[in-house]
Amino acid sequence: MYLLYIAILIPFFSIPFIPLLYKYVHRIHTGWFVLVIPVLLLFFFARYYFVQQTIEPLILSVPWIPSLNIHFTIYLDSLSLLFVLLITGVGTLVVFYSIFYMSKDREKLHLFYAYLMLFMGAMLGSVLSDNLLVLYAFWELTSVSSFLLIAFWYHRKRSRYGAQKSMFITMSGGFSMLLGFIMLYVTSGTFSIRELILLGDQISQHSLFIPAMYFIFLGVFTKSAQFPFHIWLPDAMEAPTPISAYLHSATMVKAGVYLVARLTPIFGGHQEWFWTITIIGLITLFIGSLTAIRQSDLKALLAFSTISQIGLIMSLLGIGSMSLNNQYSDSSLLFAGATLAAIFHLINHSIFKGCLFMMIGILDHETGTRDIRRLGGLIHVMPVSFTLTMIGSFSMAGLPPFSGFLSKEMFFSGALTASRTMGSWFIFIPIIAWVASIFTFVYCMILIFKVFIGPYKPLPLDRKPHEAPFGMLVSPMILASLVVILFFFPNLIASSLLEPTVKAILPQAFANGREWHVHISAWHGFNTELLMTMGIIILGMLLYKYLTKFRNIYESIPLKFTLNQAYDNGLVAMERISGKLIRFYMYGSTPLYLSYLFVFVIVIVGGSLFLLNGFIFDLSNNAPIELYEYMLGFTIVAAAIYMVFTKSRLISIIAVSVIGYIVSLFFVIFRAPDLALTQLVVETISTALFLLCFYFLPRVSKYVTPMKLNIRNAIIAIGVGMTLTLIGLSTQEHHLFDSIAEYYKDSYTLAGAKNIVNAILVDFRAFDTMLEIVVLFAAGVGIYTLIKLRHTGRKDQ
């Protein structure tokens, strides 16, 4: 059973070995070794596909931070299994494809595959975690690994820009989502998703329930590129094509879809959940499909189509959540059909979009361009690529005989169900779905006819176009075959995967043993859904015919009104404001900066303690101070004052040494010989180093500090000294917890020490010492790396 933990960690464990294979095995492409990992994971999880209907969901838990109720709990049911199979299945095909796409001579394959494995492990952890905080850790790790993959060609300015943009938007949403998770914990006392589902009715009455929902929405919408946060996805297309095929069609953008599906049993049925997801999904569907039409870059076209398709899935999940609303309990099974359509289209989208991204990569690889305006007539030289691209495009357009037709018809059915059941004015749902589908049909036709049909354009391409090698075509061939197979045999996964997944998303709708079985067929007679499809084809062909005129209308919108421009203007404004703020207090003077810090300590720390009556101390119970202790104390004060006013560096060093040596005498008086010896050694070494360093310094300038500056420094120094002294005295009267001294008194002998001081320094501070060593080691590695690295000389592109 614990093999599930190993399966999640295998991609992480493989990362240190990938650079070694890349360095020492030159003749074999590193991808062949990495391919073993997703293949093994795919076969490992596939065995659960054949038995998951006969067993209960698998639950494994390992305590991580028990004091904070954080456990690494794995929950494997049909929903998480579906996503795991997509992650490992598409991941296998992507790694195989990248073996032929990524050159082992020109690319840093060890980094490419290490980042890819990091992302795969993060995605597996995200969909298998039951604890919200563990899920959040993996969730943010997907953003980090995505940043590294998008910026893989970091010498390109657009790659760096896209990586920074995606990380800024997705991680900002991630922090918001963390706040939502913490609010859920406050309402329920648990981070477990399963326990939250059981406490659904109870926590829904809490005042933080709705705020938690909307904070989680921000994390979901940023990760899944939903309006208005969709602007990062097109810029992320600067990543290598295998990354686009994996992250931005099959996995990362689906993470938000997974979280919505997983949390539907908690929030589903509430009007806020339905309205927000449905409306945002429909807006994203419409804007994504409309914007895709104007793109001239093939990957940008697919990026906006991905935004549109994820919006479609989101809207279906929103509609399906109403099956948990008591107001529509009689129609719950009808709404469940929308959830079924969402899951089926999620599978279809991962398949046909992965195929299309790989085909766009082949076009770019074999022709040297992705610009639609420079392409045409490629059917004559790349017939296989044309066939595979046509299958993927027609499936995305929702045409038979491809699986996208089935899920698109189910989409229309779900939209019509919402309109008929919830009221006639909900007719806007199927209308928006229908109009957006027309635009989807148009950009699919652009992808086929503008690139492959028409006169052949041999120039001005960078290289002579030719068909891709067979190895590069294998992965998209498999995906294209699945598109056709799922159309003719959709029920291969209907009862074994789709049905249990819907029941996992909507458990309350089937809690009373209500019978509901999935059977998918391509023909339902002449119904409204079929008429909508026929209208899409007719209007889509007309719109494609007059595409130039339509584009002119669309492109008349000024760029300054776009969300991308708003994002860029926001960055510029932030940079400008921060620059003005920095210039306000940054004058290049170290004494001035230290003054800021010390004044902050006096005002914030001292002021807070004063206002909160924190300065409480009673010296009546202290031990009496002997005359020689007063003498030593006054000597320290005198040495410190003398050091300030002397103009001789040598005398300043002697005065500092006097202070240190007298402190060691205090340790002797207080019977701490170990500390005294340590102080003497450190003081001696410090004095020697000071003398050595000051010997090489130039002579002291005759600059005279103004009296006002001296007075200011004296006031600050006295204020800091008084503040810290009062804090030190006050700590004796504040005992929030039992003193740890009793623990040391009772347990230091267990460490084999002869006294408490030895035990504290050697054993109890062992972790602190270890971390200090780790920090020094990391700094050393960084310095060594900077010394060994040489600038490659590549310019920004």
Residue 67 burial (10 A CB sphere; 0-12, 13-18, 19+):
exposed
* One domain, residues 330 and 454: yes
pLDDT in tens, 437-493: 999 999 999 999 988 887 776 655 556 778 888 999 999 999 999 999 999 999 888
Distances (CA, A) of 236 to 142, 300, 553, 640: 14, 9, 27, 59
* One domain, residues 281 and 420: yes
The one-letter amino acid code at 649 reads R
Domain end, chosen from 534, 555, 576, is at 555
Task: Please provide residue 251's backbone torsions phi and psi, each rounded to the nearest 5 degrees.
Answer: -125, -75
Whether the Cβ atoms of residue 348 and residue 395 lie closer than 8 Å to each other: yes
Give the span between the Cα atoms of 122 and 138, in whole angstroms: 5
* One domain, residues 478 and 347: yes
The gap from C-alpha 316 to its chain's centroid, in whole angstroms, comes to 24
Whether the Cβ atoms of residue 73 and residue 59 lie closer than 8 Å to each other: yes
Whether the Cβ atoms of residue 339 and residue 502 lie closer than 8 Å to each other: yes
* One domain, residues 396 and 506: yes
- Which residue stretches of the chain have pLDDT < 70? 1, 50-55, 326, 329-332, 424, 457-463, 512-514, 551-561, 700-705, 733-736, 746-748, 764-765, 790-797
* One domain, residues 605 and 641: yes
Residue 768: which domain range? Answer: 743-791
In a domain? residue 70: no
571 contact partners, CB below 8 Å, separation of at least 6: none
Give the span between the Cα atoms of 749 and 563, in whole angstroms: 66
Give the span between the Cα atoms of 339 and 316, in whole angstroms: 6
* One domain, residues 286 and 431: yes
How confident is the model at residue 714, as a pLDDT? 86
Q: How is the chain split among helix, strand and coil, in percent rounded to 5?
A: 75, 5, 20
In a domain? residue 233: no
* One domain, residues 648 and 580: no
Give the span between the Cα atoms of 366 and 373, in whole angstroms: 16
* One domain, residues 610 and 576: no
Per-residue tokens: 639: 């040495």
Give the span between the Cα atoms of 415 and 433, in whole angstroms: 8
CA neighbor of 507 nearest in space, from 264, 325, 329: 264
3-state secondary structure of 794: coil
* One domain, residues 497 and 601: no
3-state secondary structure of 698: coil
Return the bridge partners of 345, or none: none
Give the span between the Cα atoms of 440 and 533, in whole angstroms: 12
Give the span between the Cα atoms of 380 and 455, in whole angstroms: 9
In a domain? residue 227: no
* One domain, residues 549 and 609: no
Whether the Cβ atoms of residue 335 and residue 421 lie closer than 8 Å to each other: yes
In a domain? residue 365: yes
The one-letter amino acid code at 753 reads A
* One domain, residues 544 and 603: no
Q: At 677, which helix (H) or strand (E)?
A: helix 673-695
Count of CA atoms in the C-beta half-sphere (13 A) of 720: 13
Q: Is the peptide bond before 460 cis (omega within 30 degrees of 0)?
A: yes
Whether the Cβ atoms of residue 347 and residue 502 lie closer than 8 Å to each other: no
pLDDT in tens, 500-556: 899 889 888 777 666 778 888 887 778 888 899 999 999 999 988 888 777 666 666
Give the span between the Cα atoms of 280 and 116, in whole angstroms: 30
In a domain? residue 628: yes
Tell me the torsion sign for CA atoms 29, 32, 35, 37: negative
In a domain? residue 540: yes
Tell me the torsion sign for CA atoms 15, 17, 21, 22: positive
- Per residue, the 3-state secondary structure of 652-665, as one string, reads HHHHHHHHHHHHHH
How confident is the model at residue 793, as a pLDDT? 47
Give the span between the Cα atoms of 393 and 352, in whole angstroms: 8
Q: Is the peptide bond before 401 cis (omega within 30 degrees of 0)?
A: yes
In a domain? residue 230: no
Give the span between the Cα atoms of 321 and 481, in whole angstroms: 32
Q: How many domains does the chain have?
A: 4
* One domain, residues 666 and 680: yes
In a domain? residue 36: no
Per-residue tokens: 716: 């600050």
Place of tokens 């300038």: 701
Whether the Cβ atoms of residue 308 and residue 292 lie closer than 8 Å to each other: yes
The one-letter amino acid code at 484 reads V
